[in-house]
Structure 1
């Protein structure tokens, strides 16, 4: 039986939001997933998400994602390391995944998965990023986000929406490293996927054919993820450099008077 404790509000750091969105936009064919790290105020039942862990998918599906116990353990170890580094009680407190081309609302499977996590931690929370939703009127893609928990019912758990607040914060090094590591994770997924598929194939032509598809997939990641990511980070670097120079001039104007 899950405790009747529910979150009142979730505060999501803006750099974590950027990392999750970047991850969600890497593919419009399968769902992606990750875990959320931060602190929970047990007095106010408010969750403060300050970091995320991008998970390696062993099985790519267009309509579902699963988190293995090994991945949960790895994320917990990452949270412990971050807690020691920051000297704060940081732990795994939620999960996120994407809904490409479909509504932002959690499915029955999502709600049941969330309910399972809440059996271990009543204040565990879920985020869903709906991406690649076409707005025909404005000819643009929409991005939506929902924050939810599961509430107990007699027949089956139901969705319970939680207020979400995005806190404007500068990029922290550990979240920037997570974004920079994203292409490596995606490439490793492709390598592992083709390695499993090709393990029992003895035909050289078939192996060559599959290797070609793996190469195409990796090139696609480089062109659609790595290159735009590098350009975005370079633009951020230039903007920060301009900001630093402006602040230096402002400091000089104050000291000269």
Structure 2
């Protein structure tokens, strides 16, 4: 049964938000998913999300995602490792997934899944990123995000929106590692998917056909994910180096003024 205790606010680190959006934009045909890590203020009922785990999809679907117990266990181990490394509380406190080409609002399946998690952790939270929504008037793609929990309605579970605050933060090393690992996860998903198809067929022509689609999928990942990611990280590095030079110049001026 869902507890009466519920979240009042979720504070999401900007670098985690960037990872979630980057992950959501990798495909417009299936939903993606991941788990959110951080700590919860049990007194104020406020979640602080500072890291995430990108999950490997064993079954790609355009309208639903599922998180296996094994994935939850792996994410919990990762949270424990981060906790020891950062010397602060860190655990799995939520999940996220995407809605390509549809609205940001959770479906009844999403709300049911959220309700299930809340039976184990009352302050567990869900984030949904709506991507690839075309605005014909502005000729742009919109990205929307909603933060929600499930609550007990009159006859069924209902969505309850939670205030979401995106907090400015630098790109932490552990989140940088998560971004860098994204192409490897996507490639492994494609390899597993096409290998399963090859195992189910003895036809040489069908096998050749599957190999060609696997190659196309790999090319798509390189051109649409890896290259833009490298460009983005390169721009970040340039910005950081410029900032370092600016600060060094400022320090030098302050030292000269103090000598005078």
TM-score higher than 0.5 here?
A: yes
> Hey, what does 2:204 align to over in structure 1?
204
> CA offsets, 1:93-137, max 9 Å, x none?
000000011000101110010000000000000000000111111
> Hey, what does 2:7 align to over in structure 1?
7
> Hey, what does 2:98 align to over in structure 1?
98
> Hey, what does 1:120 align to over in structure 2?
120
Alignment of 1:84 with 2:81, yes or no, is: no
> CA offsets, 1:14-65, max 9 Å, x none?
0000000000000111100000000000110000000000000001111111
> Hey, what does 1:36 align to over in structure 2?
36
SS at match of 1:181: helix
Query: Retained in 1: the 8 A contact 2:34–2:95?
Result: yes
Matches within 5 A, 1:174-193: 174-193=174-193
CA shift for structure 1 position 69: 0.6
- Structure 1 runs of 4+ aligned residues shifted over 6 Å read none
> Could you tell me the TM-score, scaled by structure 1's length?
0.99
> CA offsets, 1:176-215, max 9 Å, x none?
1101110110000000001111112222222111111101
CA shift for structure 1 position 154: 3.9
Q: Distance in 1 between matches of 2:138 and 2:200?
A: 49
Q: Could you tell which deviates more after superposition, 145-154 or 108-117?
A: 145-154
> Hey, what does 1:65 align to over in structure 2?
65
SS at match of 1:235: helix
SS at match of 2:26: coil
> Hey, what does 1:138 align to over in structure 2?
138
Q: Distance in 2 between matches of 1:206 and 1:29?
A: 23
CA shift for structure 1 position 2: 2.0
SS at match of 2:170: coil
> Hey, what does 2:18 align to over in structure 1?
18
SS at match of 1:72: helix
> Could you tell me the TM-score, scaled by structure 2's length?
0.97
Matches within 5 A, 1:204-243: 204-243=204-243
Q: Distance in 1 between matches of 2:2 and 2:204?
A: 54
Aligned residues: 257
Q: What stretches of structure 1 of length at least 5 have no aligned partner?
A: none
CA RMSD after TM alignment? 0.7
Q: What stretches of structure 2 of length at least 5 have no aligned partner?
A: none
SS at match of 1:160: strand
Q: Distance in 1 between matches of 2:155 and 2:118?
A: 17
CA shift for structure 1 position 156: 1.2
